[in-house]
Amino acid sequence: MAILPILEIPHPTLRKRAKKVRGIDKSITKLAYDMVDTMHEAGGVGLAANQVGQLWRIIVIQMPDEEEARVYFNPEIVKTMGTREVEEGCLSLPGYRGLVNRSVWIRFQAIDHGETTVKFKAENLLSQALEHEVDHLNGILYTDHLASHEQLYRIEEQESQPGDEEEEITSDQNSLDTPASLKIN
Ligand SMILES: [Zn+2]
């Protein structure tokens, strides 16, 4: 188990398409569980392998109301229905959030941590997180879904830079930690 460094834009790996996992061997399993640790450490709802510099189709999801993280290999969004506007952030673009259109619900398919093929319908935050993470595997960032530049906005940075006193931001940092605006990563 290890915490991996999370790549940030404009790292080129974030724009690459990840490869299908052909066999879930020891190293792939270790990577997946390192991703779970990394996601937990960062306080995120999800993480894709591209974000830790590995171009394999692996995503991990931690739903706030679930005890264990979900681990998915070769995830696929089989069907989408409707659109809704949601607020989103990403660990690879720290300090920003934006409004994007996501599906109302999706049909999802993947191989889970027990190497079983799972198929289910997802909605709400789970659907949003799965769409966000599968996008990562295709080199897509949420900012690609913004209808206009105005829909991306800066939030308070957690660490202020020493000597940088030009901008004093007093917005409520706690808003990030409420379930209504959880970080999707
Ligand atoms: Zn992300």
What structural domains and CATH numbers belong to the chain?
12-157 (3.90.45.10)
Task: Kindly give the distance from the C-alpha atom of residue 27 to the centroid of ligand 1, in angstroms, as a whole number.
Answer: 23
pLDDT at residue 149, as a whole number: 67
pLDDT tens-place string over residues 107-121: 999 999 999 999 999
Q: Which helix (H) or strand (E) holds 109?
A: strand 105-112
Residues 141, 135: contact at Cβ < 8 Å?
yes
- Is 133 among the catalytic positions? yes
* pLDDT surpasses 60 at 161: no
pLDDT at residue 157, as a whole number: 59
- CA–CA gap between residue 99 and residue 149 (Å, rounded): 10
pLDDT at residue 92, as a whole number: 97
Task: Kindly give the distance from the C-alpha atom of residue 8 to the centroid of ligand 1, in angstroms, as a whole number.
Answer: 10
- CA–CA gap between residue 79 and residue 146 (Å, rounded): 21
User: Which entry of 133, 150, 156, 159 is annotated as an active-site residue?
Assistant: 133
26: left (phi over 0), alpha (psi -120 to 50) or beta: alpha
Structure tokens at 63: 């739903």
Distance of CA 26 to the CA centre of its chain: 24
Query: Which of these ranges, 43-47, 105-109, 170-174, has the smallest mean pLDDT?
Result: 170-174
